[in-house]
C-alpha cells in the first residue's frame, strides 16, 4: 500500500488554496497548510483532524523557512508544495501602500520559499513545485501594475526552474498555474469579468493538472485561448484593455 501523499499549501485559509487543501485531505493525503489567520487554519484542521497540519505565519515575515521545515517534520516528508499566498487590489493611482504588500507576498516571500524548496527536492531527487500565478502574468495591467508584474515574475521564475531541473537531470516537477477569473475575495473587476469559475471547479482542474505533472496550466482550460490573444496582440490593441 502506497504512503499518503504529503503536500504543503502556502496560503490556504481561503479561496483556491483552501479548497485544494480540503480536496486533497478528502483524498487521503497528508496536508500542511499555512496562513496569517490562525482561527481559519484551526477551523480547517478541525474539519480534517487526521489529514491536516497547520503553521500560522505571514510570508512577508522573516521566518518562512523555519515554518516550512516544521510542517515537513509534522507531515513526515514532502512530495508537493503549492505556493498560493496572494494579495491584491486595484492600484488606480499607483499607490505604494497597495503595491508594496503585493511585491512582498508575490515576489519576496514567494522566491524565498520556492528557492529553498526547489533545493530540498533537488537534494532528494524528487518532488513537485507549483505556484498559483495568474493570467495577468502575460501582459502589464494598468489597473494593477505591481500585481501583473509580480505574477510575470512568478511564471518566468517557474519556467526557469523547469529548465534548470531538466539540465540538472533531477526528478523535480515544476508547474505554473495561471487562472483567469475565479470567484474569490481577491477577484476585482465588476462588469469586466467573464468566464468566472467557481473556486471548486478551479481547484479540481488544478489538482487534475498537477496529477498529470503539467508544466503550465490555464484555469479554466478555455483561458488558454485568452492567453494566446493577450500574448500576441499588438500593443496598440492591447493597451485599450490592459
Q: What 3-state class would DSSP assign to 41? A: helix
163/142 Cα distance (integer angstroms): 31
How far is residue 113's CA from residue 229's CA, in Å, rounded to a whole number? 32
Q: What is the DSSP-derived secondary structure letter of residue 203?
A: H
Separation CA 121–CA 109 (nearest Å)? 19
Catalytic residues: 147
CA-nearest of 158, 168, 39, 146 to 87 is: 146
In the beta sheet, which residues pair with residue 53? 32
Q: For residue 2, how many C-alpha atoms fall within 13 Å in the half-sphere facing its CB? A: 7
| Number of neighbours of residue 121 by Cβ within 10 angstroms | 24
Q: How far apart are CA 34 and CA 68, in angstroms?
A: 9
* Beta bridge mates, 139: none
Amino acid at each position: 500500500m502506497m504512503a499518503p501523499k504529503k503536500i504543503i499549501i502556502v496560503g490556504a485559509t481561503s479561496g483556491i488554496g483552501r479548497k485544494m487543501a480540503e480536496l486533497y485531505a478528502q483524498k487521503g493525503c497528508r496536508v500542511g497548510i499555512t496562513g496569517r489567520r490562525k482561527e481559519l487554519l484551526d477551523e480547517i484542521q478541525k474539519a480534517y483532524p487526521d489529514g491536516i497540519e497547520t503553521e500560522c505565519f505571514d510570508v512577508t515575515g522573516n521566518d518562512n523557512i523555519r515554518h516550512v521545515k516544521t510542517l515537513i517534520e509534522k507531515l513526515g516528508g514532502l512530495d508537493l508544495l503549492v505556493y498560493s499566498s496572494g494579495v491584491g487590489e486595484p492600484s488606480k493611482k499607483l499607490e505604494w501602500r497597495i503595491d508594496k504588500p503585493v511585491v512582498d507576498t508575490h515576489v519576496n516571500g514567494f522566491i524565498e520559499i520556492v528557492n529553498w524548496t526547489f533545493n530540498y527536492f533537488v537534494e532528494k531527487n524528487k518532488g513537485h513545485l507549483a505556484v498559483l500565478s495568474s493570467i495577468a502574468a502575460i501582459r502589464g495591467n494598468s489597473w494593477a501594475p505591481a500585481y501583473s508584474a509580480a505574477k510575470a515574475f512568478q511564471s518566468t521564475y517557474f519556467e526557469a526552474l523547469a529548465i534548470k531541473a531538466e539540465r540538472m537531470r533531477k526528478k523535480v516537477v515544476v508547474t505554473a498555474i495561471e487562472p483567469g477569473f475565479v470567484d474569490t475575495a481577491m477577484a476585482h473587476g465588476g462588469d469586466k469579468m467573464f468566464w468566472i469559475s467557481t473556486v471548486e471547479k478551479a481547484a479540481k482542474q488544478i489538482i487534475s493538472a498537477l496529477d498529470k505533472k503539467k508544466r503550465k496550466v490555464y484555469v479554466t482550460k478555455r483561458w488558454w485561448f485568452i492567453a494566446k490573444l493577450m500574448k500576441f496582440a499588438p500593443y496598440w490593441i492591447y493597451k485599450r484593455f490592459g
